[in-house]
Amino acid sequence: MKPTYGFFSFTEITDPAEHRSYNEWHQLDHLPEQFPLAGIVHGQRWVSTPACRAARVAGAADLDRVHYVTCYLMAEPIEETVDEFFALGAELHRLDRFHRHRRAHLTGPFRIVGRVAAPRVLVSAEAVPFRAHRGVYVVVEELPSGDGPGAVDHGLHAVAGVAGVWTFASADLTSSRWTAGARRITVCWLDDDVLEVSARLAPIVDGWRERAAPGSNVSFAGPFETITPWEWDWFDQPTNVGATEPPPR
């Protein structure tokens, strides 16, 4: 199956104490259940750790509260795939197998409109999402309605540590089940230290924002780390159990 769409969810965890349970649910229950669906080609979720959050170039309004981003790559027929995707979600809700302390601030299917790989990685552009990586850098643009967004080459794939770049644009599908509006989402797959690559990308994204066409703006830009199962302690609060008096200065 060849993916033609990416279904994104930019998610906030509404209770700070629920990150571990959310990750356990999503990685060990929710995500695996998607893959038996006929139209699901691939799926992955990434985390905006506190360090990633500090490295953001842009984070407007609701998107600034996002902790995680998920992308499911979907194949045609897209309407049927999306219907089965939501039917499964409804069934999992019915079975009380859905996490309650989460809020999606941007969600929905986006057409794949551009794919490019860095020459050094050797794999094809189509293979980039399936290649091992350390994280992603994500840019969300708000565009004028009816703009018909396509891929825009900002040279991101030439930056050291970027393995490839895919571009997604708002779908022609209409539904009240996902976020409305015209947007473009650019995803860079990273195979070097996420924060170091983020620092290399930041000046490019800043220039991108300055050159935005009238009615357009970058509403989010920042890095996310690849999630390793059972290593979910990024937001754990330190405790004072066993603490001793600080040593004399």
Cβ neighbors of 170 (< 8 A, separation 6 or more) are 108, 110, 111, 143, 149, 181, 182, 183, 184
Please compute, for residue 68, the number of CA atoms within 13 A of its CA located in the half-sphere on the CB side: 24
Number of residues written out for the chain: 249
Domain ranges of the chain: 3-226
Q: Is beta strand 3-13 parallel, antiparallel or unpaired with respect to 162-170?
A: unpaired
> Which residues are registered as beta bridge partners of 133?
none
Q: What is the predicted pLDDT for the residue at 60?
A: 86
Question: Tens of pLDDT along 19-30?
Answer: 999 999 999 999
Q: Does domain 3-226 have CATH number 3.40.50.300?
A: no
pLDDT at 108: 93
pLDDT score of 214: 77
At residue 113, does pLDDT exceed 70?
A: yes
**What confidence tens digit (pLDDT) does each residue in 130-141 have?**
999 999 999 999
- CA-CA distance, 26 to 223, in Å (whole number)? 20
The DSSP bridge partners found for residue 44 are: 71
E strand or H helix that includes residue 70: strand 68-75
Single out the residue of 72, 98, 70 nearest to residue 10, CA to CA. Answer: 70
18-64 pLDDT, tens digit each: 999 999 999 999 999 999 999 999 999 999 999 999 999 998 889 99
